[in-house]
Structure 1
């Protein structure tokens, strides 16, 4: 059942554990992202190669393809898992927008500031 396959493949618990070796290449507005996906039932088998191409200007996925799966023509679970993994990463804040914790704490300045009355 296609809906059931999509639901299971889009789970964070599957995608986050199965996705590895991610590569990103940008050429103008086109972004190509490649990864390797570990098979769910044969974890020591050959990894599946998946390629996603998106237009960053239009914020649209142009194509996604699993190169090693016999079910790739019908939208295999590896491609779905990678697409959902990419989506979850896009929802995370940028590493530059997260507050730094290695800056000097406010408590370390106690007693060193002179107050004018």
Structure 2
């Protein structure tokens, strides 16, 4: 299962469409402390959403070793820096994330 912290409806739709194609199970969360996240193999975090870096930090603290992939507008250098400091495994520009999504969910 892939835990997704994505509020943007467009990206939720993209995640649903690609997961339907790849067979991946994507579950959307709002709380990084939700016990169901323990079943996740990866978390995807929208770093443009309010609290994105905090979600990364909470995931790192609560679920050590979980792969955390964040995506963000390339112009938000401060959000990228915050997510790196919080412990995100990978950070991608939104456009690169969309391109990589099928491989991420495979």
Tell which has more relative contact order, 1 or 2 (C-alpha 8 A, sep 6+): 2
| TM-score, structure 2 normalization | 0.24
Tell me the TM-score normalized by structure 1. 0.22
Pick the structure with more helix per residue: 2
Larger Rg: 1
